[in-house]
Structure 1
Amino acid sequence: MREVWLDGSPDAVSALTRAVAEALDGGPAVLPLNAGDPSAKTLRAAMAPDDPVEPGTAVLIATSGSTGAPKGVLLSASALRASATATHARLGGPGHWLLATPAHYIGGLQVLVRALLAGTTPAVLTGDGFRPDDFAAAAATLSTADGPRYTALVPTQLVRLLDSPAGLAAARSFDAIVIGAAATSAGLRERAAEAGVRIVPAYGMSETASGCVYDGVPLDGVRIELDDDRIRIAGDVLAHGYRRQPELTAESFGDGWFRTSDRGRFTEDGRLRVLGRVDDVINTGGVKVSAAAIERVLGAQPGVREACVVGVPHPEWGEAVVALVVPGGASCDGGDLRAAVKSELGAACAPKRVEFAPELPLRGPGKIDRMAVRDRFRAEMAP
């Protein structure tokens, strides 16, 4: 297995691109790792790179996931190719890509795979953090490229671009921006549309070689079904298991299907709507409520840019519903937000407390760090 340590430099991204190209053609499996992550050495050790890799593996995506337990997703060359090919077919054909998310996560790595299959050289956003001016400079290197121009972002990055004149102009220059890693709120969709930015919200994960459902519609070759509201996925994009975890592999993969930890439903026009994780249900006063549903209502209110809803222990209610909100634009009031949730979802769903912050804590490729939000409220609401 070939390890590639990414330090934010173009040279490291080039080394990973070459390694992935060889792996797609049958070369050694690749394990990308983040050199700036203090836990990367522990994650590497769990992947046992010195031991033979499971047959058919081209790329091993190592992650700690939402539980903090190391997990390695085994992806074949055929799964990576199927995902990239189907993505190009949905977006408008092979094109030029800007890498703006970390390449050791599947969303960033797939940008490299798509560029390889398109025969183009990806532009690379380097450095620490995400700054709209840097994004605009990187996007400008694609301004003379023939053919479609694409990039992939997480919702927080898109928000920052919409707030910046230079970032907004750069975002408008792309034929499509794939938005993944976290849910795209209705309010953010509307902001992007009004600003003339074409976004394509994507649902997927490492186990599906990145996004496999675009704007509610599965990519070509992908099948979706619901098993008691839990989303199951089939198709050529699937991973073939987890590194050195046969029990977890057997639990999650079987008969050509991958059983996710997400709940969903189909809308009247047949699109998949992701309702949240199976474990996002909050039991408050004996009533089970969905954190994701409350977040959708909050995100649709004027003056709300982002929202995270969690449950925290409470001596009376068992769990109390609380919300951390990022304001933006129009002013918003905690009482008004609670009233809006109560009106639409019922009294049990109304947050017992609403607090405001300039941004939500994040982990990984842009996912909200719910544990950090929960810890913030837990300390404040302790009896």
Structure 2
Amino acid sequence: MLSDILGQAIEAMKHNRRRTTITIVGMAWGIATVVLLLAYGAGFGQAFENIFAQFGTNMIGVFPGRTSEQAGGSKAGVQVRLTQDDVERIQETVPGVMRVAPTVDKTVPVQNDLHSFSWDVTGITPELQSIQRLELAEGRAITEADVQQRAHVTVIGSEAKTKLFSGLYPIGEKIRLNGVSFEVVGVMTPKMQEGDDNDINRQVNVPLTTMSDIKDTKYLDGIWMDYKGEPKMVEEALRKTLATAHGYRPSDRRAVFVANIMEQLTQFRIISLGLQVLLSFIGALTLGIAGIGLMNIMLVSVQQRTREIGVEKALGARKRHILMQFLAEALVISGVGGVGGIALAYAVAKGVGRITFYSALASNAEAGDIHLLISPNTVLVATVILVIVGTISGMIPAMKAASLDPIEALRYE
């Protein structure tokens, strides 16, 4: 039964090849538009994921500020100072925290025999390199032994290497930080960076203990940590711990500044999801226009085959047989157009390649550009939209054909 219906649908399509071809092209264009719009939305979301992933996502940074609310007998405006005790306190009391890394930084002259620049130098512990994903292009990282021995070693950013050493091999070379000699033991891989201010690719990292030769390290400029669990809960626990230790209200958001990277990423994910829904809607409308074309063609087909329908009914065909015959024809046209459209979308996605996005604003940001990502889920969503549009477009002409009076149909000229 089903094979007979499909056979009739294919024969009808062959009988009107030009009309059928035009309709199939319209459906293919519509489904290709849906797939490409969904692929663009997915690529947009992945671009943001890549931007955040280079620094780490389950990561929180906390920085000292001034109180803005009175607490107990203390007035607002008191400077909050973070110390090594806070590092240990966070590690021991904040649930979900895995690694904690203090930092101290200062802008100082960075020099070698040929060049002199004024850059930020940061005293770190080995944990920070894992928390912030400070990967190496050359040499080695700062180790726990370096911290314990107060070693005069440094790991520099990719741009710092270029500006200081040009094309020379930097490992083992000496540079002066605020007049103090350090040996370059590693060079970090380039990261995405907007503008020239505080360029992270000019980073100069030294062991935290050795940083005391450049700046007093009693008070910390920041504390970074990674964690597992719900970002909001970890942040609130962190704020309560520090508020209790320093005698200010946990609700005072200016006492310490908290950079919760996952919270920021979640906001961008919501934007990305909204964009994908909007693009899906636009794609569905585009395919709907193609569906209207299919409906019109099928209505013309019903009108031209009115006498044929009358003969079929006179020979015993029932309404459901006629209904399925024309609906099957519409679905076959939609199916062929859908396969062609998906193939076209894959070809366009491969041909387009990378669409400039973040790299227009930042250096080393190719991973933050948009790639048209056609996933199985994208194809599935597009197929569902196609089936719905094809069914609706074919159902109305099919119902009209099924409801024709056989006597009037036989009289039709």
Same fold by TM-score, threshold 0.5 exceeded? no
Larger Rg computed on CA atoms = 2
Structure ranking higher on relative contact order (CA contacts 8 Å, 6+ apart): 2
When normalised by structure 2's length, the TM-score is 0.24
Higher percent of residues as strand: 1
Higher percent of residues as helix: 2
When normalised by structure 1's length, the TM-score is 0.25
